[in-house]
Amino acid sequence: MTPDLMEEGARRLNRGAARPATGQTESGGRTAGYGRPALAQGEVDLTHGRILYLEDVSVSFDGFKAINKLNLDIAPGELRCVIGPNGAGKTTMMDIITGKTRPDEGTVFFGSTIDLLRHREAEIAQLGIGRKFQKPTVFEQLTVFENLELALKTHKGVKHAMFFSLDSAQADRLAEVLHTIHLADSVTRMAGNLSHGQKQWLEIGMLLMQEPKLLLLDEPVAGMTDEETVRTAELFLSLKGKHSLMVVEHDMSFIRTISEIVTVLCDGSVLAQGTLDEVQADERVIEVYLGR
Q: Which residues bind to ligand ATP, rule: CB under 6 A?
A: 61, 66, 84, 86-92
Q: Nearest Cα to 49, choosing from 2, 93, 108, 116?
A: 2
CB of 6 to ligand ATP, least distance (A): 25
CB of 10 to ligand ATP, least distance (A): 27
In this structure, which amino acid lies at residue 177?
V
Q: What are phi and psi of 249, to 5 degrees?
A: -150, 150
CA 174 to chain centre: 20
Radius of gyration of the chain (CA): 21
Q: Which is nearer to ligand ATP, 91 or 143 (CB)?
A: 91
CB of 224 to ligand ATP, least distance (A): 17
Q: Which is nearer to ligand ATP, 100 or 189 (CB)?
A: 100
- E-assigned strand segments in 119-243: 129-132, 214-218
CB of 125 to ligand ATP, least distance (A): 20
Q: Which is nearer to ligand ATP, 109 or 289 (CB)?
A: 289
- Tell me how far apart the terminal alpha carbons of the chain are, to the nearest angstrom: 36
CB of 92 to ligand ATP, least distance (A): 3
Q: Which is nearer to ligand ATP, 102 or 242 (CB)?
A: 102
CA angle 156, 150, 200 (to 5 degrees): 115
Q: Which is nearer to ligand ATP, 68 or 126 (CB)?
A: 68
